[in-house]
Structure 1
Amino acid sequence: MTAPDSVAMADDERDEFLGNGGTGVISFPTDSGESPHSLPVSYGYDAAEETFYFRLAAGEAREKSDLLDRPVSFVTYGTVDDTWQSVVAEGRLEETTDASIATETLEGLERVRIPLVDIFGQPPADVDFKFYRLVPESLTARTESSTSV
């Protein structure tokens, strides 16, 4: 479903809202009938390529193969000048170490800033992170409409 023009953000407005990084929520599908697995994450955004980058915690409980080849949705939102805005990106995560995208990824990572958020119960330096990117198949940006409620 596409947002009506009255609430859709133009690409330049969307890129300004996303900046080169921030925080949001990424959701992964689960078995049928279960709620999606959603995680707060920090992201980097490369406006030149309309690509998101994520630094996700890895380890025994988080197998990287579980993240790949599955649809994901990523949502970030906030207010700008007291106006509510949101962006939803949908697609599949790609490993940034794949030879086929490594060069593109290095160029993209130079243009982004992924905030380091300490939510792991241990120093972030002690957490094993892996980098992934999301080239959205669908990218929707909305802003609060100016109608009086």
Structure 2
Amino acid sequence: MEDVRSVRMSPEEQNEFLGRGGTGVISFDTSGDGPPYTRPISYGYDAETGNFYFRLAVGPEDAGKKDLIDEDREISFVTYDETDRGWRSVIATGSLEEITKSALDSKVAEAMQRVKIPFVDVYDSHPLTLEFRFFRLIPDELTGQQQAGTGE
């Protein structure tokens, strides 16, 4: 078995890895002993503020998902990549904050212009039947790891 060691990424390395956006996996804490609600997702990242932005889709059959995003629940977000230089990943945890038109301030609007949330079609329903809502994650904790020896 190959011995693959990891090292913590610096904030600069994390920002470079996250870029302006990409894809990852979001997990919502659920009540009781059930497993987390986990789904692939695209994200935008604003290095200036260190915040993540998500466009979540809720369809007519997604009552459980709607309940999860409407409640103040702890989430984890993970993004990962493997290249010829080795693997890298970043994990962010915290609570989502919905961005509504009425609550949109100039700083959030500026940050959303700096990010790029890829549109990835992973929906069970036709996109025209979905309600798209925007959320921000101001991480309580942000950690990055990379395969040892992959730093610049």
Report the TM-score, using the length of structure 2 for normalisation: 0.83
1:102 and 1:32 map into 2 onto residues whose CA distance is 36
1:16 and 1:30 map into 2 onto residues whose CA distance is 32
Instruction: Indicate yes or no: 2:73 matched with 1:70.
Output: yes
Instruction: Indicate yes or no: 2:127 matched with 1:124.
Output: yes
Structure 1 spans left out of the alignment, 5+ residues = 1-5
Structure 2 spans left out of the alignment, 5+ residues = 1-5
8 Å CA contact 1:96, 1:102 repeated in 2:
no
Shift of the alpha carbon at 1:134? 0.2
8 Å CA contact 2:59, 2:129 repeated in 1:
no
2:105 and 2:133 map into 1 onto residues whose CA distance is 13
| Residue correspondence of structure 1 range 12-91 to structure 2 within 5 A | 12-60=12-60, 61-62=62-63, 64=66, 66-67=68-69, 68-91=71-94
2:101 and 2:74 map into 1 onto residues whose CA distance is 18
| Residue correspondence of structure 1 range 134-145 to structure 2 within 5 A | 134-145=137-148
Query: Which stretch shifts more, 94-103 or 78-87?
Result: 94-103
The number of residue pairs the alignment matches comes to 141
Match of 1:7 in 2: 7
Shift of the alpha carbon at 1:124? 3.2
Identity of aligned residues (%): 46
Give the superposed CA RMSD: 2.0
Report the TM-score, using the length of structure 1 for normalisation: 0.85
Q: Secondary structure at the match of 2:56?
A: strand
Name whichever structure is richer in helix by fraction. Answer: 2
Shift of the alpha carbon at 1:145? 1.7
Instruction: Indicate yes or no: 2:107 matched with 1:104.
Output: yes
Match of 2:3 in 1: none
Shift of the alpha carbon at 1:66? 2.8
2:22 and 2:85 map into 1 onto residues whose CA distance is 18
